[in-house]
Amino acid sequence: MDLLDNQKVNIYMDTVCSCVKFREAHNEIRREIETHLIDTVEEHEKEGISREEAIDMTIKQMGDPLDLGRKLNEVHRPKPEWSVLTLVFIFLTIGMAIIYTRNSGLFQRSLFGVLAGIVVMVLLYFFNYQRFKPLSKYIYLATTILLLTDIRVIINSGFDIAYIAPIVYALSLSGMFSDDEWKKRKGIINLAIFILPMAVLLYRNSWSSLVSVAMYFVVALVIATMSGINIKYILGVAVLTIATGLYSIFNVDYRAQRILMFLNPEVDAQGAGYINVQLKKILTSAGLFGNGFDIDKDLTFTLPEMNTDFVFSYIVYTLGWIVGAIIISLIIVFFIRLIKTSKSIKNSYGRLIVASFTSIFIVQFSYNILMIFGLVPLAGFSLPFISYGSRLNIANMAMIGIISSVYRRKNILLER
């Protein structure tokens, strides 16, 4: 039944939509009204009422279009996920404060990175994330090609695209596997789509690529599981990735040494196990309230990357375990809010994006903290928003921007 040709229906829907300021919700609202009209008109027609009379009765039952429009305007009014944004800004503030106390010379550069990240985040918040979906396979292919050609060498840049590859792959795979689109392809093709990025990252044979493989692996499992892909393919990806990753680690001497030193760092406390031993000293000497910013140089300043990968150890040493526990608690709340945000999204594409980005944040935060505690081997995982590193923080803030864009449109089910 097509009621869209009826002038009364069109006037009613136009009046309702005129009260809803968020234009992107208009198609969804029209679909909801049309569905309700069709069902109600059909019921009236079964009672022997003519089409025109049935339409008039249905419109009357729906009430004043202005009142309905105002109510729907409240429902569809875009609202940021303030709890997530507040936590992000708390982390950024902590990071900026720590950088200032550690190295005021880096503060200006870090501030520029934070401001650039905020601009990116705001722009992505207003950008309709669904415009990425038709480009998903092209984004996937472009990222793979850039990784294979090692674009940083070509453009003479020190930034390795492997660090942000899991983010870009999460965005592209979410579009390629949403709405049961994977059912249109053969199982072996779906498996190949998941495995190719891991194969490319491992082929590059760099430590940064191995870090990215770990993040991508979790992203792939989350998307595959939420998409309803057969469990045998998921297990296949898991087994193959773990086996290949272990081979890549133990096939290179210095990587294997990192694992061995993680198990027993005291064997070479002044060599390969130095960082592990120093981290243990820093944490055990921190105390509940810390040692202040007048740090013993022999203990702390000799530890590399205190502004980046090991910034949490610096926070605990200077401010104490109470502050460290508060930060860990805030991180856990951050995880919970992101997971709840993912569950609130109606659109399958948006839900996959938020879930996969959430998994990246969980891997980054969790591995960094566990690494500081000596529970996992040392790797290049920084603490999002807190560690120094403008490019990575901009990438993380871009994820928050896209998550905010999805949340802004969480009640819109229709694909555009």
Of the pLDDT bands very low, low, confident and very high (cuts 50, 70, 90), residue 272 is low
Does the pLDDT value for residue 265 go beyond 80? no
**Cβ(393)–Cβ(328) below 8 Å:** no
| Between 242 and 405, residue with greater pLDDT | 405
Q: Please, which pLDDT band fits residue 294 given cuts at 50, 70 and 90?
A: low
**280 vs 238: which has the higher pLDDT:** 280
Block residue for tokens 């996920």: 81
Quick one: tokens of 371? 């690494």
Neighbours of 115 (CB within 10 A): 11
Q: What are phi and psi of 247, to 5 degrees?
A: -60, -45
Let me know how long the chain is.
416
Q: What is the pLDDT of residue 273?
A: 74
pLDDT: which is higher, 318 or 297:
318
The residue among 17 and 122 whose pLDDT is bigger is 122
pLDDT at 107: 82
Structure confidence at residue 356 (pLDDT): 96
pLDDT tens for 106-135 read: 788 888 989 999 999 999 999 999 999 999
Give the per-residue pLDDT at 327.
96
Question: If 0-12 CB within 10 Å is exposed, 13-18 middle and 19+ buried, where does residue 206 land?
Answer: middle
Range in 219-223, 265-269, 395-399 the model is least confident about:
265-269
Question: Would the pLDDT of 313 be above 80?
Answer: yes
Report how far apart, in Å, the C-alpha atoms of 364 and of each of 167, 209, 248 are: 12, 14, 21
Query: What would the mean pLDDT of 182-193 be, rounded to a whole number?
Result: 74
Average pLDDT of span 221-229: 84
pLDDT attached to residue 374: 86
- Using DSSP, state whether 79 is helix, strand or coil: coil
**What b/e sequence results for 282-292 when a residue is b if at least 16 CB atoms lie within 10 Å of its CB, and e otherwise?**
bbeebeeebbe
Residue among 140, 194, 145 at smallest CA distance from 167: 140
Higher pLDDT, 279 or 256: 279
pLDDT at 153 over 60: no
Average pLDDT, the chain: 82
Residue 80 has pLDDT above 90, yes or no: no
Cα(155)–Cα(142) distance, integer angstroms: 16
pLDDT at 3: 65
Q: Stretch 289-295: mean pLDDT, rounded? A: 73
Asked if residue 225 lies in contact with residue 358, where contact means CB atoms within 8 angstroms, the answer is no
CA distance 244 to 302: 35
- 296 — alpha (psi -120 to 50), left (phi > 0) or beta? beta
pLDDT category, 140, cuts 50, 70, 90?
A: very high
Helices (H) and strands (E) in the chain, counts: 18, 0
Structure confidence at residue 154 (pLDDT):
46
pLDDT at 182: 65
pLDDT greater than 60 at residue 299: no
Least confident stretch, 145-154, 171-180, 213-222: 145-154
How far apart, in whole angstroms, are the C-alpha atoms of residue 276 and residue 374?
A: 7
The pLDDT score that the predictor gives to residue 321 is: 93
Give the torsion sign (CA, 257, 218, 174, 178). Answer: positive
Lowest mean pLDDT among 142-146, 197-201, 269-273, 373-377: 269-273
Residue 153 to residue 162: CA distance in whole angstroms: 13
256 has pLDDT over 80: no
Burial class (CB in 10 A: 0-12, 13-18, 19+), 100: middle
Mean pLDDT (whole number) for 374-394? 85
| Strand extents, DSSP E, 168-318 | none
69's tokens:
């429009």
Residue 185 has pLDDT above 70, yes or no: no
Is 98 within 8 Å of 385 (Cβ atoms)? no
Q: Which residue in this structure is represented by tokens 């415009």?
A: 131
User: Which of 73-87, 145-159, 268-282 is least confident?
Assistant: 145-159
pLDDT digits (tens, 9 = 90+) for 24-72: 778 778 888 888 777 787 887 777 787 788 877 888 888 888 888 888 8
pLDDT digit string, tens, across residues 319-373: 999 999 999 999 999 999 999 999 999 888 999 999 999 999 999 999 999 999 9
176 vs 26, which has greater pLDDT?
Answer: 176
Q: Are 175 and 163 in contact (CB under 8 A)?
A: no
Amino acid letter, residue 182: W
